Chains A and B, each alone.
Chain A
Amino acid sequence: MTSIATAGASVSEQHAAIAGARPWQRLVLLGIGLVVALGLPWFVYPPVAMDIAAWALFAVALDLLLGYCGLLSFGHAAFWGGSAYATGLIAIHLGVPFPVAVLGGALFAMVLAVPIGYLSVKRSGIYFAMVTLAFAQMLFFIANQASSLTGGENGLQGVPRSFFGIEAVETDSFFFYYAALPIILLGMWAAWRIVHSPFGRVLVAIRDNAPRARALGYDVERYKLIVFVLSAGLSGLAGGVFAVSHGFVALPELHWATSGEVVLMTVLGGIGTLWGGVIGAGLIVMLADYLASSGFDGIGIVTGTVFVTVVLLFRRGIWGTARHMWLSRRSS
């Protein structure tokens, strides 16, 4: 049975991609990525560009867990939304520059991930998905009840964008994008670094054969917990930036539909490809923006259909398909 984690690319393909990619190819891809990231707000409405960047990091963080550890979390909204609320509260009550507030939010997400992860990694596969989903929804209910702190149904209003008194960043979404982009890129670099570290290789070993990794002396549950917390922290960075960018935090950030949306982005981009999620996020956010601006109110009809189609016919995702074609062309 093929594990879901290796759907984006077969195991051998992933190894070929890690070992076989030539340095110049990597540099070209990195260059293209940076140019797109820097040029995005020139072509897309800047707040939407910021949404794309935040969701992209969120999807990368999810793939760190799903693609490299084989754990499908259906509760990552807890960390995205949890950090969004924490970031918002820090920014409102302490008035610190927004990067500090975002870091605080990410830290909060990591602290939150310890008990949730501790309980969830006791199960794997489908159980892991269900348990993470349930705990995230518990957080949703708590945030809904604690309305004196979170604003409940009305959301947390008036999250400031303070940035060392530089007015252009604080008021103009275009400049804010460039102030927040380093946080997103830092998060993506961290994910890349984790995957390409000895720690990352142990994760892949656990994903491919957990009993064997255990027999080799690795504490499987501890590794899973650590990557869960790291993934939560990166999701928290993304959620925090999202909160500051929008200036408010609403309850749906914690809802399971948000967890599902980031899973869709990751699957659409290609599980286990790390960067596929960036493409998935770009497509879904732009699609949602287009549908919203054209007055179509049944976005679930479109995303649901995309989801069903991708899962049925297109399981490698976009990045996975591209890599597969590239590698099979090279080997033939």
Chain B
Amino acid sequence: MNAVLQYTVQGLAAGSFYALAALGLAVIFGVLGVVNFAHGAFYMLGAVAAAVLLDTVGMSLWLALIVVPLLMLVFGMLVERLLVRWLLPLDPLYNLLLTFGLTLLLVDLVKRRYGVSGLPYERPSALDGRVQLAGVGLPVYQLFVIGVALLVCLGVWLLMTRTRVGMIVRAATERPELAGALGINVGRWVTPVFGFGVALAGLAGVLAAPFRAITAEMGSDFIIILFAVVVIGGLGSIVGAVVGGFLVGLVEAFGQAYAPTFAQVLIFVLMAVVVLARPAGLFGREEATA
């Protein structure tokens, strides 16, 4: 029982990174129709930025949690304006290729600048140690990650349901044809939404900085699992991204605990089952036949 609680917390913490980043992937896909391959690289940049800011100007994790996503927001908006925008009228596969090329570029640039050995990141002492809950010592940092992820998801949910911008984004994500037909101008939200999605990936990266090894390659497995997450949850679905993220985190944690050999494979088995049973994903809508 104790072990189950421990693995659940561990899985939800891992799932927090997936959920936050997948949420960004989902809103970008929803509004732009772009599958952003560079999302893993943006996650990596978030972690690297946090580490570099700590090292050079001594920025604390608390401040980095706000500053880095803002930097990534600006960076994402630039990427959209300078690159992604030109390919929006074309087959969405072009932007997959573009962001793939961008990934190669960003990863090797970081590798050249900061090496391959990984950057250090010291966790703030307030988040060190364990708390006792039902007789189990749970790492404070994992609980903190879950808390932040849930807060952000709640915040995004409020943004999506209570504000006009959110409603437009939601309409464009879930029923793009209908939103257009009702005369909603989705176009002007394209750049900020892309930036927002990138900022969420950056935030996941900052949260991961004290928890995972910070290397240029840290996003390269992450993005593949992220793709599995959105295929499982349903690519067009915001709820699906969050639920899929936590689900995959749990599968990973329990897999590592009880069948370590198959832990990573289990996620893809889960994906295969979902593709077989519900091709559109758990929360997805059937795609219009192209």
Binding site for B on A (CB under 8 A): 1-4, 7, 72, 74, 119, 122-127, 129-131, 133-135, 137-138, 141-142, 145, 210-211, 256-257, 260, 263-264, 267, 297-301, 303-308, 311-312, 315
Contact = CB atoms under 8 A, between A and B. Distances in A.
Contacts of A312: 83, 86-87, 98
A127 B280 CA distance: 9
B272 interface: yes
Given A298-B108, A298-B112, A312-B86, A134 B224 contact: yes
Given A123-B275, A298-B112, A308-B105, A1 B268 contact: no
A137 B268 contact: yes
Contacts of B102: 304, 308
B265 A126 contact: no
Contacts of B271: 131, 134
A138 B228 CA distance: 11
B228 to A, nearest CB: 5
A1 B224 contact: no
B279 A1 contact: no
Interface residues of B, number: 47
A299 B227 contact: no
Nearest to B262: A145
A306 B101 contact: yes
Given A135-B268, A256-B224, A301-B109, A210 B290 contact: yes
Contact of A127 (B87, B105, B108, B287): B287
B235 interface: yes
A260 B35 CA distance: 15
A305 B264 contact: no
A210 B220 CA distance: 34
A74 to B, nearest CB: 8
B91 A1 contact: yes
A155 B83 CA distance: 38
Interface of A is mostly: helix
Contact of B105 (A210, A256, A305): A305
A126 B96 contact: yes
B224 A133 contact: yes
Contacts of B272: 119, 135
A123 B235 CA distance: 12
A2 B279 CA distance: 25
B94 interface: yes
Contacts of A303: 101, 104
Contact of A134 (B101, B107, B227): B227
B275 A122 contact: yes
Contacts of B235: 126-127, 130
B264 A141 contact: yes
A138 B265 contact: yes
Nearest to B109: A301
Contacts of B111: 297-298, 300
B97 A307 contact: yes
A4 B224 contact: no
A308 B101 contact: yes
Given A130-B35, A298-B108, A300-B105, 9 more contacts: A1-B89, A4-B91, A119-B276, A123-B275, A125-B92, A125-B287, A138-B269, A256-B220, A300-B104
